[in-house]
Amino acid sequence: MSDFASLAHERYSCRSFSNKPVDPKLIEKIIDAALAAPTAVNKQPFRLWVLTGDAVTKFTRHTRYDFGAHTYLLVGAATDEAWTRRYDGKNFAEVDASIVATHIMLAIADLGLGTTWLGSFDVPALIQELPELTGYELVAAFPVGWPSTNAHPSPMHEASRNKNELVSYLE
């Protein structure tokens, strides 16, 4: 397998982090990967927030999924900045932000860190605490840290629907 194929298959949703600090240089590498993500017409209709310290406390108050990470990356979509498909009016802000989020998730794994795509958080309450998020569709949050010694893939990690259910070849 290529390095990318190995990364895609071996990464897992880490839900337990050690207290070992993450070097800010690694966070910058993750941000660089996010900024390299392709977006429709290169409009880059997203925002990325790095949460540390008190901001992490504020975030974790509004989700039941606190895995002990001391850094979170939060991705938001700016619908007013996105390309819109003229044929049906489809706005690509959330698609673009999801591409950026995927780059983030894979960059984190590539650096040997752990994360999981976290979408379950109370957006209205979070915006009350962090008003800088106002006006964005919050797409994903990524806890970032070194996996704890008891971190492991969930039993569902290897589960997948049959390829024939998910892929069609059209001629």
Q: Which pLDDT score is estimated for 40?
A: 98
Q: Is residue 41 part of a domain?
A: yes
Q: Could you tell me the residue range of the domain that residue 116 belongs to?
A: 20-148
Q: Which pLDDT score is estimated for 9?
A: 85
Q: Is residue 73 part of a domain?
A: yes
- Render each residue's pLDDT in the chain as its tens digit; 171 residues: 569 999 988 898 899 999 999 999 999 999 999 999 999 999 999 999 999 999 999 999 999 998 999 999 999 999 999 999 999 999 999 999 999 999 999 999 999 999 999 999 999 999 999 999 999 999 999 999 999 888 777 767 677 789 899 999 999
Q: Which pLDDT score is estimated for 1?
A: 53
* Residue 16 to residue 77: CA distance in whole angstroms: 27
Q: Which residue has the tokens 């698609």?
A: 95
Q: Which pLDDT score is estimated for 45?
A: 98
Q: Is residue 158 part of a domain?
A: no
Q: Is residue 106 part of a domain?
A: yes
Q: Is 46 strand, coil or helix?
A: strand
User: E strands within the chain?
Assistant: 46-52, 71-77, 137-144
Q: Which pLDDT score is estimated for 26?
A: 98
C-beta of residue 108 within 8 angstroms of C-beta of residue 115: yes
* Residue 143 to residue 163: CA distance in whole angstroms: 30
Q: Which pLDDT score is estimated for 150?
A: 84
CATH number of the domain enclosing 121: 3.40.109.10
Q: Which pLDDT score is estimated for 153?
A: 75
Q: Is residue 12 part of a domain?
A: no
Q: Which pLDDT score is estimated for 59?
A: 98
User: DSSP per residue over 93-135, as a string?
Assistant: HHHHHHHHHHHHHHHHHHTT-BB--B--S-HHHHHHH-GGGTT
Q: Which pLDDT score is estimated for 80?
A: 98
Q: Which residue has the tokens 């008003």?
A: 131
What is the tally of structural domains in the chain? 1
Q: Which pLDDT score is estimated for 2?
A: 66
Share in percent of the chain as helix, strand, coil (round to 5)? 40, 20, 45
Q: Is residue 15 part of a domain?
A: no
Structure tokens at 48: 């990325």
